[in-house]
């Protein structure tokens, strides 16, 4: 399990200050979203890497377009030297296959590709009106299609992680937002999972935003999370 920190602060300066304060932790993942990337672009990614070259970047752009345009975008993302990005599974198997084909020349250097199955902001009714099926059913179907297209994993709630691995493969990665490591304030998240639950549900990448950047001491908070992750995992390994 690897911790992903959502860099969701309102300015590049604040996000970089947070990253800088966490510079001593090797191998942390930094999630860079729409807002930040549109505003701050590639120089922001380069600055993150200059703070710590071992930071890994997850570019959360959720691509959705025709297959060739998605493949073009995927290739440009691979050139950005980021370690992971995502796209919408509802763009369809042909688009997902085109993306994976386009990344083939990068071999083991290619970024990991995750699919978004269902946006959690949808109510069941809204989702059904657009996709013609229920969220659970369709999310599983999308997860399966993205696995068959050769993607590395999906973005899903911690509560769906295990079912998705059962539907696909234990190696198919799951990245889950809405994690409140020690049961912190849920904010606008509707269903939140603790670290304990995320480990139990085999989440590969827990994403944590506010509980870290709103903590009085974000560095201590990250240390606490990493220690706890290690603890829970070693306990489970010993079972
Ligand atoms: O602050 P918090 O820990 O709730 O941040 C979670 C991050 O994950 C935010 O960047 C949010 O946009 C993102 N996210 C989410 N739920 C989804 C997909 C992404 O909370 N379904």
Predicted confidence at residue 76, as pLDDT, reads: 98
Tell how far the Cα of 209 is from the centroid of ligand 1, in angstroms.
Answer: 7
- For residue 23, give the nearest of 3, 50, 52 by alpha carbon: 52
Tally of residues, the chain: 239
Structure letter (DSSP) for residue 203: -
Structure letter (DSSP) for residue 147: H
Best probe residue, ligand 1, of 207, 214, 218 (max atoms within 8 Å of C-beta): 207
- For residue 183, give the nearest of 198, 200, 161 by alpha carbon: 198
Cβ–ligand 1 distance for 154 under 6 Å, the answer: no
62 is catalytic: yes
Cβ–ligand 1 distance for 209 under 6 Å, the answer: yes
Spell out the domain ranges in the chain. Answer: 4-237
Predicted confidence at residue 239, as pLDDT, reads: 56
Residue 104 has which token pair?
A: 């083939």
Dihedral over Cα of 232, 236, 237, 239: its sign: positive
Which residue has its alpha carbon closest to ligand 1 atom 5? 209
Predicted confidence at residue 187, as pLDDT, reads: 86
The reported pTM is 0.94
d(CA 225, CA 184): 12
Predicted confidence at residue 192, as pLDDT, reads: 87
3-state SS track over 69-114 = HHHHHHHHHHHCCCCEEEEEHHHCHHHHHHHHHHHHHHHHHCCEEE
Active-site residue among 31, 49, 56, 62? 62
- For residue 104, give the nearest of 150, 40, 171, 157 by alpha carbon: 150
Count Cβ atoms below 10 Å from residue 132 Cβ, excluding itself: 8
- For residue 209, give the nearest of 1, 3, 2, 5 by alpha carbon: 5
Tell how far the Cα of 158 is from the centroid of ligand 1, in angstroms.
Answer: 12
Tell how far the Cα of 95 is from the centroid of ligand 1, in angstroms.
Answer: 25
Contact 218, 21 (CB under 8 A): yes
CA-121 nearest atom, ligand 1: 21
Predicted confidence at residue 186, as pLDDT, reads: 87
d(CA 41, CA 225): 29
CA-119 nearest atom, ligand 1: 21
- For residue 4, give the nearest of 23, 22, 31, 24 by alpha carbon: 31
Tell how far the Cα of 207 is from the centroid of ligand 1, in angstroms.
Answer: 7
Predicted confidence at residue 238, as pLDDT, reads: 57
At the topology level, CATH places domain 4-237 in: TIM Barrel (3.20.20)
Q: pLDDT tens, position by position, for the chain (239 residues)?
A: 999 999 999 999 999 999 999 999 989 999 999 999 999 999 999 999 999 999 999 999 999 999 999 999 999 999 999 999 999 999 999 999 999 999 999 999 999 999 999 888 888 999 999 999 998 899 899 999 999 999 999 999 999 999 999 999 999 999 999 999 999 998 887 778 999 999 999 999 999 999 999 999 999 999 999 999 999 988 887 55
Q: Could you give the maximum distance between any two Cα atoms of the chain, in Å? A: 48
CA-8 nearest atom, ligand 1: 10
């Amino acid at each position: 399990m690897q911790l992903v920190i959502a860099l969701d602060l309102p300015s590049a300066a604040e996000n970089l200050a947070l990253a800088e304060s966490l510079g001593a932790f090797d191998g942390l993942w930094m999630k860079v979203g729409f807002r930040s990337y549109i505003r701050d672009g590639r120089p922001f990614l380069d600055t993150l890497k200059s703070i710590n070259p071992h930071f890994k970047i997850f570019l959360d752009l959720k691509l959705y377009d025709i297959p060739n345009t998605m493949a073009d975008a995927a290739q440009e993302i691979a050139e950005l030297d980021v370690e992971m990005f995502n796209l919408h599974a509802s763009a369809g198997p042909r688009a997902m296959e085109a993306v994976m084909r386009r990344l083939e020349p990068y071999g083991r250097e290619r970024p990991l590709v995750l699919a978004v199955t269902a946006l959690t902001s949808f109510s069941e009714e809204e989702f059904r009106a657009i996709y013609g099926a229920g969220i659970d059913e369709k999310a599983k179907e999308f997860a399966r299609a993205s696995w068959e297209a050769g993607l590395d994993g999906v973005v899903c709630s911690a509560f769906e992680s295990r079912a998705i691995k059962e539907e696909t493969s234990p190696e198919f990665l799951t990245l889950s937002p809405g994690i409140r490591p020690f049961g912190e304030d849920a904010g606008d998240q509707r269903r939140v999972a603790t670290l304990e639950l995320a480990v139990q549900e085999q989440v590969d990448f827990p994403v944590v935003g506010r509980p870290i950047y709103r903590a009085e001491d974000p560095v201590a908070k990250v240390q606490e999370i990493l220690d706890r992750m290690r603890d829970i995992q070693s306990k489970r390994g010993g079972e």
